[in-house]
A and B are shown apart, each in its own frame.
Chain A
Amino acid sequence: QSVLTQPPSVSAAPGQKVTISCSGSSSNIGNNYVAWYQQFPGTAPTLLIYDNNKRPSGIPDRFSGSKSGTSATLGITGLQTGDEADYYCGTWDNSLRAGVFGGGTKLTVL
């Protein structure tokens, strides 16, 4: 069981918006920055969001991140078939004194 909880899957139509949630606790999300990753099959993950809501250069502004209390959310607008991938949240856990990831969410663009 992952320390951070994500829905196993989400789906939406092309052009629509989708959100992916990431739930944690005060020992992790509640007191640390959250990052989000996109991973296509057979490839290494790519950093989408860091420090809760910042995008690395090259990441489209269709991707956004937010955090409230012990939960974080990744938003993707203007969905494209190329967005079909697995998405992971991650943060530091002060109790474990280690990094932790969510179990991952598979996005399907119908």
Chain B
Amino acid sequence: VQLVQSGAEVKKPGESLKISCKGSGYTFTTYFIAWVRQMPGEGLEWMGIIHPGDSNTRYSPSFQGQVTISADKSSSTAYLQWSSLRASDTAMYYCARHASPRLATVDFDYWGQGTLVTVSS
């Protein structure tokens, strides 16, 4: 099982961005994929999840309306996107796979390597 994320990004405030997380070694449509933010020197923040099988998506209230999570079954890839970045979006973003089919859980058995997003003018 592997989750491979897209590379680091440097963007300006107001720009849009879409980062990716490609799953392999398992049936991508079977497990939820979550996105987790880690700001510099800070802790983990659960952003939201998607079930690639039916695109059922859930967002943390803190991130609802700020980002969009999507998935493409045909390419076994999940996405996290912003329409207008802010400096406060500067962080490492991880995708992670649910260890079980349950929705209401935070046990992630496989993680991507992380995508560093830097937003600066």
Write the residues of chain A forming the contact surface with B, with a CB cutoff of 8 angstroms: 2, 32-33, 35, 37, 39, 44-47, 50-51, 56, 86, 88, 90-92, 94, 96-104
Which chain B residues numbered 14 to 33 have a C-beta less than 8 Å away from chain A? none
Give the shortest distance, in Å, between A18 (CB) and chain B (any CB): 19
Contacts of A44 in B (CB 8 A): 94, 96, 111-114
Taken residue by residue from 90 to 107, chain B's Cβ proximity to chain A (1 for < 8 Å, 0 otherwise) reads as 000010100110001111
Which chain B residues numbered 37 to 64 have a C-beta less than 8 Å away from chain A? 43-46, 48-49, 58-61
Kindly identify which residue among A45, A98, A103 contacts B59, using a CB–CB cutoff of 8 Å. Answer: A98
Taking chain A's interface residues, is the majority helix, strand, or loop, or is none over half, making it mixed? strand
Q: How large is the interface on B (under 10, 10 to 19, 20 to 34, 35 or more residues)?
A: 20 to 34
Contacts of A98 in B (CB 8 A): 46, 48, 58-61
Q: Is B117 an interface residue when CB atoms closer than 8 A count as contact?
A: no
Known contacts A33-B107, A47-B107; is-contact A90 B44 (Cβ 8 Å) = yes
Task: Across the interface, name the chain A residue whose C-beta is closest to B61.
Answer: A96
- When the two chains form their complex, are residues B99 and A104 in contact, meaning their CB atoms are under 8 A apart? no
Kindly identify which residue among B49, B107, B111 contacts A35, using a CB–CB cutoff of 8 Å. Answer: B107
- When the two chains form their complex, are residues A104 and B105 in contact, meaning their CB atoms are under 8 A apart? no
Q: Is B80 an interface residue when CB atoms closer than 8 A count as contact?
A: no
Task: Across the interface, name the chain A residue whose C-beta is closest to B112.
Answer: A44
Kindly identify which residue among A32, A45, A86, A90 contacts B111, using a CB–CB cutoff of 8 Å. Answer: A45
Contacts of B106 in A (CB 8 A): 35, 90-92, 99-101
Give the shortest distance, in Å, between A109 (CB) and chain B (any CB): 20
Contacts of A56 in B (CB 8 A): 99, 109
CA distance A66 to B61 in the complex (A): 28
CA distance A46 to B44 in the complex (A): 12
- When the two chains form their complex, are residues B60 and A92 in contact, meaning their CB atoms are under 8 A apart? no
- When the two chains form their complex, are residues A96 and B60 in contact, meaning their CB atoms are under 8 A apart? yes
